[in-house]
Structure 1
Amino acid sequence: MNTFADLAHFSAHAGQSLGETNYVVITQEMVNLFAEATGDYQWIHTDPERAALESLYKVPIAHGFLTLSLAPKLMAQLYRVESVKMGINYGANKIRFTNAVPVGSRLRMKARLQTVEAQDKGVRAIIECTFELEHAPKPACIAELIVLLFE
Protein backbone atom coordinates (compact mmCIF):
# COMPACT_ATOMS: atom_id res chain seq x y z
CA MET A 1 0.00 0.00 0.00
CA ASN A 2 1.34 3.38 -1.05
CA THR A 3 0.50 6.02 1.53
CA PHE A 4 0.90 9.66 0.54
CA ALA A 5 0.70 12.47 3.09
CA ASP A 6 -0.98 14.87 0.68
CA LEU A 7 -1.75 15.56 -2.96
CA ALA A 8 1.67 17.10 -3.56
CA HIS A 9 3.34 13.80 -2.61
CA PHE A 10 0.77 11.87 -4.65
CA SER A 11 1.39 14.13 -7.66
CA ALA A 12 5.15 13.57 -7.40
CA HIS A 13 4.44 9.86 -7.98
CA ALA A 14 3.09 10.51 -11.51
CA GLY A 15 4.52 8.17 -14.12
CA GLN A 16 5.16 5.41 -11.58
CA SER A 17 3.53 2.14 -10.62
CA LEU A 18 1.03 2.00 -7.78
CA GLY A 19 1.58 -1.75 -7.51
CA GLU A 20 -0.66 -4.76 -7.82
CA THR A 21 -3.53 -6.03 -5.70
CA ASN A 22 -4.28 -9.37 -4.16
CA TYR A 23 -6.28 -11.77 -6.30
CA VAL A 24 -10.08 -11.78 -6.06
CA VAL A 25 -12.05 -14.92 -6.95
CA ILE A 26 -14.89 -14.16 -9.37
CA THR A 27 -17.87 -16.17 -8.15
CA GLN A 28 -21.19 -16.99 -9.76
CA GLU A 29 -22.87 -15.18 -6.87
CA MET A 30 -20.98 -11.96 -7.76
CA VAL A 31 -22.02 -12.34 -11.40
CA ASN A 32 -25.66 -13.00 -10.47
CA LEU A 33 -25.79 -10.00 -8.11
CA PHE A 34 -24.29 -7.80 -10.83
CA ALA A 35 -26.91 -9.10 -13.28
CA GLU A 36 -29.62 -8.27 -10.78
CA ALA A 37 -28.27 -4.77 -10.18
CA THR A 38 -27.94 -3.98 -13.90
CA GLY A 39 -30.72 -6.05 -15.45
CA ASP A 40 -28.20 -7.80 -17.73
CA TYR A 41 -29.24 -11.45 -17.46
CA GLN A 42 -27.62 -12.64 -20.67
CA TRP A 43 -27.17 -16.43 -20.43
CA ILE A 44 -23.39 -16.28 -20.97
CA HIS A 45 -23.23 -14.73 -17.49
CA THR A 46 -26.07 -16.32 -15.53
CA ASP A 47 -26.83 -19.80 -16.88
CA PRO A 48 -24.13 -22.36 -15.96
CA GLU A 49 -25.97 -25.26 -17.63
CA ARG A 50 -26.37 -23.49 -20.96
CA ALA A 51 -22.80 -22.15 -20.77
CA ALA A 52 -21.52 -25.71 -20.30
CA LEU A 53 -23.27 -26.72 -23.51
CA GLU A 54 -23.03 -23.66 -25.76
CA SER A 55 -20.30 -21.29 -24.56
CA LEU A 56 -16.75 -21.30 -25.87
CA TYR A 57 -15.63 -21.06 -22.23
CA LYS A 58 -17.85 -23.94 -20.93
CA VAL A 59 -18.62 -21.86 -17.80
CA PRO A 60 -20.35 -18.49 -17.33
CA ILE A 61 -18.20 -15.40 -17.74
CA ALA A 62 -18.31 -12.18 -15.75
CA HIS A 63 -19.78 -9.07 -17.31
CA GLY A 64 -17.03 -6.80 -18.60
CA PHE A 65 -18.43 -3.97 -16.53
CA LEU A 66 -18.37 -6.17 -13.42
CA THR A 67 -14.63 -6.51 -13.91
CA LEU A 68 -14.30 -2.75 -14.35
CA SER A 69 -16.55 -2.05 -11.34
CA LEU A 70 -14.00 -3.74 -9.10
CA ALA A 71 -11.56 -0.87 -9.72
CA PRO A 72 -12.49 1.25 -6.65
CA LYS A 73 -12.30 -1.76 -4.31
CA LEU A 74 -8.97 -2.83 -5.75
CA MET A 75 -7.60 0.72 -5.92
CA ALA A 76 -8.13 0.95 -2.15
CA GLN A 77 -5.52 -1.81 -1.78
CA LEU A 78 -2.96 0.19 -3.73
CA TYR A 79 -2.89 3.75 -2.42
CA ARG A 80 -4.19 6.22 0.11
CA VAL A 81 -3.74 9.96 0.32
CA GLU A 82 -4.07 10.94 3.98
CA SER A 83 -5.18 14.53 3.33
CA VAL A 84 -7.96 13.62 0.86
CA LYS A 85 -11.47 14.19 2.16
CA MET A 86 -13.32 13.06 -0.96
CA GLY A 87 -12.64 11.18 -4.18
CA ILE A 88 -14.89 10.97 -7.24
CA ASN A 89 -14.81 8.61 -10.19
CA TYR A 90 -14.81 11.10 -13.06
CA GLY A 91 -14.76 8.80 -16.08
CA ALA A 92 -12.45 6.98 -18.42
CA ASN A 93 -10.39 7.87 -21.45
CA LYS A 94 -10.16 4.34 -22.77
CA ILE A 95 -11.53 0.94 -21.78
CA ARG A 96 -10.81 -2.35 -23.52
CA PHE A 97 -12.13 -5.77 -22.48
CA THR A 98 -9.37 -7.95 -23.93
CA ASN A 99 -10.14 -11.33 -22.38
CA ALA A 100 -13.13 -13.10 -20.85
CA VAL A 101 -13.28 -13.63 -17.07
CA PRO A 102 -14.64 -17.13 -16.43
CA VAL A 103 -16.51 -17.71 -13.17
CA GLY A 104 -14.08 -19.24 -10.68
CA SER A 105 -11.07 -17.39 -12.05
CA ARG A 106 -8.77 -15.23 -9.97
CA LEU A 107 -8.40 -11.58 -10.97
CA ARG A 108 -6.04 -8.86 -9.77
CA MET A 109 -5.33 -5.30 -10.83
CA LYS A 110 -2.06 -3.53 -11.55
CA ALA A 111 -2.11 0.25 -11.67
CA ARG A 112 0.15 3.03 -12.86
CA LEU A 113 -0.38 6.69 -12.00
CA GLN A 114 -0.05 8.24 -15.46
CA THR A 115 -0.68 11.93 -14.87
CA VAL A 116 -1.88 14.28 -12.17
CA GLU A 117 -3.20 17.78 -12.91
CA ALA A 118 -4.10 20.43 -10.36
CA GLN A 119 -7.80 21.31 -10.13
CA ASP A 120 -9.70 23.69 -7.89
CA LYS A 121 -9.17 22.33 -4.34
CA GLY A 122 -7.72 19.07 -5.60
CA VAL A 123 -6.31 17.08 -8.50
CA ARG A 124 -7.45 15.16 -11.55
CA ALA A 125 -5.50 11.91 -11.89
CA ILE A 126 -5.39 9.42 -14.75
CA ILE A 127 -4.64 5.89 -13.61
CA GLU A 128 -3.96 3.05 -16.03
CA CYS A 129 -5.53 -0.10 -14.60
CA THR A 130 -4.72 -3.54 -15.96
CA PHE A 131 -6.95 -6.38 -14.74
CA GLU A 132 -5.02 -9.64 -14.93
CA LEU A 133 -6.30 -13.20 -14.81
CA GLU A 134 -4.08 -15.67 -12.99
CA HIS A 135 -2.22 -17.88 -15.50
CA ALA A 136 -3.65 -16.03 -18.54
CA PRO A 137 -1.34 -14.63 -21.23
CA LYS A 138 -3.37 -11.46 -21.78
CA PRO A 139 -5.27 -9.20 -19.40
CA ALA A 140 -9.04 -9.18 -18.99
CA CYS A 141 -9.33 -5.41 -19.14
CA ILE A 142 -7.15 -2.35 -19.61
CA ALA A 143 -8.64 1.00 -18.64
CA GLU A 144 -7.47 4.59 -18.25
CA LEU A 145 -9.59 5.77 -15.34
CA ILE A 146 -9.95 9.37 -14.24
CA VAL A 147 -10.38 10.26 -10.58
CA LEU A 148 -10.84 13.59 -8.84
CA LEU A 149 -9.34 13.92 -5.36
CA PHE A 150 -10.12 16.80 -3.00
CA GLU A 151 -8.42 17.95 0.22
Structure 2
Amino acid sequence: MTRTISFAGLAAVVGTEVAVSGWFEVGQDRIDAFAEATDDRQWIHVDPERCARESPFGAPVAHGFLTLSLLPAMLESALTIEGMRMGVNYGLNKVRFPAPLPAGSRVRARWTLAAADPIEGGLQLTWDVKIEPASPSGASVRPVCAAEFLIRAYG
Protein backbone atom coordinates (compact mmCIF):
# COMPACT_ATOMS: atom_id res chain seq x y z
CA MET A 1 0.00 0.00 0.00
CA THR A 2 1.34 3.42 -0.95
CA ARG A 3 1.74 5.98 1.83
CA THR A 4 1.12 9.65 1.06
CA ILE A 5 2.99 12.41 2.85
CA SER A 6 3.28 16.11 2.11
CA PHE A 7 6.53 17.65 0.95
CA ALA A 8 6.32 20.05 3.90
CA GLY A 9 5.83 17.11 6.28
CA LEU A 10 9.05 15.30 5.39
CA ALA A 11 11.13 16.96 8.11
CA ALA A 12 8.70 15.68 10.75
CA VAL A 13 9.34 12.03 9.82
CA VAL A 14 13.16 12.11 9.83
CA GLY A 15 14.44 9.17 11.85
CA THR A 16 11.39 6.99 11.25
CA GLU A 17 10.49 4.19 8.87
CA VAL A 18 8.34 6.07 6.39
CA ALA A 19 7.25 3.35 3.98
CA VAL A 20 7.54 -0.28 2.92
CA SER A 21 7.35 -1.15 -0.76
CA GLY A 22 5.28 -3.83 -2.39
CA TRP A 23 6.87 -7.14 -3.30
CA PHE A 24 8.96 -7.40 -6.47
CA GLU A 25 9.67 -10.73 -8.17
CA VAL A 26 13.29 -11.32 -9.19
CA GLY A 27 12.96 -14.28 -11.52
CA GLN A 28 15.51 -15.80 -13.86
CA ASP A 29 14.01 -13.89 -16.83
CA ARG A 30 14.68 -10.56 -15.08
CA ILE A 31 18.20 -11.68 -14.14
CA ASP A 32 18.92 -12.77 -17.72
CA ALA A 33 17.60 -9.46 -19.12
CA PHE A 34 19.82 -7.52 -16.69
CA ALA A 35 22.81 -9.65 -17.69
CA GLU A 36 22.18 -8.81 -21.35
CA ALA A 37 21.65 -5.10 -20.67
CA THR A 38 24.88 -4.78 -18.66
CA ASP A 39 27.06 -7.41 -20.38
CA ASP A 40 27.50 -9.10 -16.99
CA ARG A 41 26.85 -12.73 -17.88
CA GLN A 42 28.83 -14.33 -15.03
CA TRP A 43 27.69 -17.93 -14.67
CA ILE A 44 26.53 -17.49 -11.04
CA HIS A 45 23.70 -15.38 -12.47
CA VAL A 46 22.77 -17.03 -15.76
CA ASP A 47 23.71 -20.76 -15.75
CA PRO A 48 21.30 -22.78 -13.57
CA GLU A 49 22.93 -26.13 -14.40
CA ARG A 50 26.43 -24.99 -13.48
CA CYS A 51 25.10 -23.28 -10.35
CA ALA A 52 23.48 -26.55 -9.26
CA ARG A 53 26.88 -28.28 -9.60
CA GLU A 54 29.39 -25.63 -8.52
CA SER A 55 27.83 -22.69 -6.73
CA PRO A 56 27.64 -22.57 -2.93
CA PHE A 57 24.15 -21.11 -3.44
CA GLY A 58 22.90 -24.11 -5.47
CA ALA A 59 21.02 -21.90 -7.93
CA PRO A 60 21.56 -18.62 -9.81
CA VAL A 61 21.61 -15.44 -7.77
CA ALA A 62 20.63 -11.93 -8.83
CA HIS A 63 23.29 -9.35 -9.56
CA GLY A 64 23.73 -6.96 -6.66
CA PHE A 65 23.36 -4.06 -9.06
CA LEU A 66 20.06 -5.52 -10.33
CA THR A 67 18.77 -5.48 -6.77
CA LEU A 68 20.02 -1.92 -6.34
CA SER A 69 18.43 -0.81 -9.61
CA LEU A 70 14.98 -1.66 -8.22
CA LEU A 71 15.20 1.15 -5.63
CA PRO A 72 13.40 3.86 -7.67
CA ALA A 73 10.50 1.53 -8.54
CA MET A 74 10.32 0.31 -4.95
CA LEU A 75 10.16 3.86 -3.62
CA GLU A 76 7.48 4.80 -6.13
CA SER A 77 5.41 1.77 -5.08
CA ALA A 78 5.75 2.74 -1.41
CA LEU A 79 5.46 6.52 -1.19
CA THR A 80 3.74 9.49 -2.79
CA ILE A 81 5.06 12.90 -1.77
CA GLU A 82 2.36 15.51 -2.34
CA GLY A 83 3.75 18.84 -3.48
CA MET A 84 6.97 17.39 -4.86
CA ARG A 85 7.23 18.41 -8.49
CA MET A 86 10.45 16.54 -9.25
CA GLY A 87 12.86 14.09 -7.67
CA VAL A 88 16.39 13.43 -8.93
CA ASN A 89 18.57 10.45 -8.06
CA TYR A 90 21.60 12.17 -6.52
CA GLY A 91 23.61 9.07 -5.67
CA LEU A 92 24.56 6.67 -2.94
CA ASN A 93 26.79 7.07 0.08
CA LYS A 94 26.96 3.41 1.05
CA VAL A 95 25.86 0.15 -0.50
CA ARG A 96 26.27 -3.37 0.82
CA PHE A 97 24.96 -6.76 -0.33
CA PRO A 98 24.95 -8.78 2.92
CA ALA A 99 23.17 -11.85 1.53
CA PRO A 100 22.66 -13.48 -1.87
CA LEU A 101 19.30 -13.19 -3.64
CA PRO A 102 18.36 -16.52 -5.28
CA ALA A 103 16.55 -16.40 -8.62
CA GLY A 104 12.80 -16.62 -8.14
CA SER A 105 12.81 -14.67 -4.87
CA ARG A 106 10.54 -11.80 -3.95
CA VAL A 107 11.93 -8.66 -2.31
CA ARG A 108 10.63 -5.46 -0.79
CA ALA A 109 12.27 -2.32 0.56
CA ARG A 110 11.95 -0.64 3.94
CA TRP A 111 12.49 3.14 3.74
CA THR A 112 13.74 5.13 6.74
CA LEU A 113 14.26 8.84 6.21
CA ALA A 114 17.64 9.62 7.80
CA ALA A 115 17.81 13.31 6.81
CA ALA A 116 15.92 16.02 4.94
CA ASP A 117 18.47 18.75 4.38
CA PRO A 118 17.53 22.05 2.70
CA ILE A 119 19.00 22.73 -0.75
CA GLU A 120 18.18 25.50 -3.19
CA GLY A 121 14.58 24.91 -4.28
CA GLY A 122 14.00 21.79 -2.21
CA LEU A 123 15.42 19.11 0.05
CA GLN A 124 18.14 16.53 -0.16
CA LEU A 125 16.60 13.35 1.22
CA THR A 126 18.88 10.71 2.68
CA TRP A 127 17.15 7.35 2.81
CA ASP A 128 18.41 4.36 4.75
CA VAL A 129 16.92 1.53 2.78
CA LYS A 130 17.00 -2.19 3.36
CA ILE A 131 15.89 -4.63 0.68
CA GLU A 132 14.67 -7.81 2.30
CA PRO A 133 13.69 -11.12 0.73
CA ALA A 134 10.40 -12.83 1.49
CA SER A 135 10.81 -15.51 4.14
CA PRO A 136 8.66 -18.62 3.64
CA SER A 137 8.51 -19.14 7.41
CA GLY A 138 7.93 -15.47 8.19
CA ALA A 139 11.14 -15.41 10.22
CA SER A 140 13.43 -12.41 10.06
CA VAL A 141 16.11 -12.68 7.36
CA ARG A 142 19.24 -10.72 6.48
CA PRO A 143 18.71 -7.99 3.91
CA VAL A 144 20.04 -8.64 0.40
CA CYS A 145 20.91 -4.95 0.05
CA ALA A 146 21.46 -2.10 2.48
CA ALA A 147 22.00 1.35 1.01
CA GLU A 148 22.11 5.03 1.86
CA PHE A 149 20.27 6.52 -1.12
CA LEU A 150 20.23 10.28 -1.84
CA ILE A 151 17.42 12.02 -3.66
CA ARG A 152 17.17 15.71 -4.48
CA ALA A 153 13.49 16.59 -4.11
CA TYR A 154 12.04 19.82 -5.42
CA GLY A 155 8.71 21.25 -4.30
Q: Normalising TM by the smaller chain, what interval? A: over 0.9
Q: Among residues 143, 151, 154, which one is paired with 1:150 in the alignment?
A: 154
CA distance in 1, matches of 2:3, 2:25: 23
The residue type equivalent to 1:2 in the other structure is R
CA distance in 2, matches of 1:55, 1:97: 17
Per the alignment, residue 97 of structure 1 pairs with: 97
What does residue range 105-124 of structure 1 map to in structure 2 within 5 Å?
105-124=105-124
Q: Structure 2-normalised TM-score? A: 0.92
CA distance in 1, matches of 2:80, 2:124: 15
CA distance in 1, matches of 2:4, 2:11: 12
Aligned length: 150
Per the alignment, residue 56 of structure 2 pairs with: 56
Structure 2 runs not aligned, ≥5 long: none
CA distance in 1, matches of 2:124, 2:90: 9
Do 2:22 and 2:78's aligned partners in 1 also have CA atoms closer than 8 Å?
A: no
Per the alignment, residue 138 of structure 1 pairs with: 142
Once the two structures are superposed, residues 59-85 of structure 1 have per-residue CA deviations (whole angstroms, 9 ceiling, x without a partner) of: 110000100111111101221112111
The residue type equivalent to 1:143 in the other structure is A
How big is the shift at 1:52? 1.2
Matched, 1:3 2:7: no
Cα RMSD, aligned residues only? 1.2
Do 2:126 and 2:150's aligned partners in 1 also have CA atoms closer than 8 Å?
A: yes
Per the alignment, residue 21 of structure 2 pairs with: 21
CA distance in 1, matches of 2:78, 2:117: 20
CA distance in 2, matches of 1:8, 1:118: 11
CA distance in 2, matches of 1:41, 1:18: 36
How big is the shift at 1:96? 0.6
CA distance in 1, matches of 2:86, 2:47: 39
CA distance in 1, matches of 2:8, 2:133: 33
Once the two structures are superposed, residues 80-132 of structure 1 have per-residue CA deviations (whole angstroms, 9 ceiling, x without a partner) of: 11211111111111111000000011211111011000110111010011011
CA distance in 1, matches of 2:124, 2:107: 27
Specify the SS of the correspondent of 1:51: helix
Structure 1 runs not aligned, ≥5 long: none
How big is the shift at 1:44? 0.4
Structure 1 window deviating more from structure 2 (23-32 vs 129-138): it is: 129-138
Per the alignment, residue 86 of structure 1 pairs with: 86
- Displaced runs of 4 or more, over 6 A: none
CA distance in 2, matches of 1:22, 1:85: 23
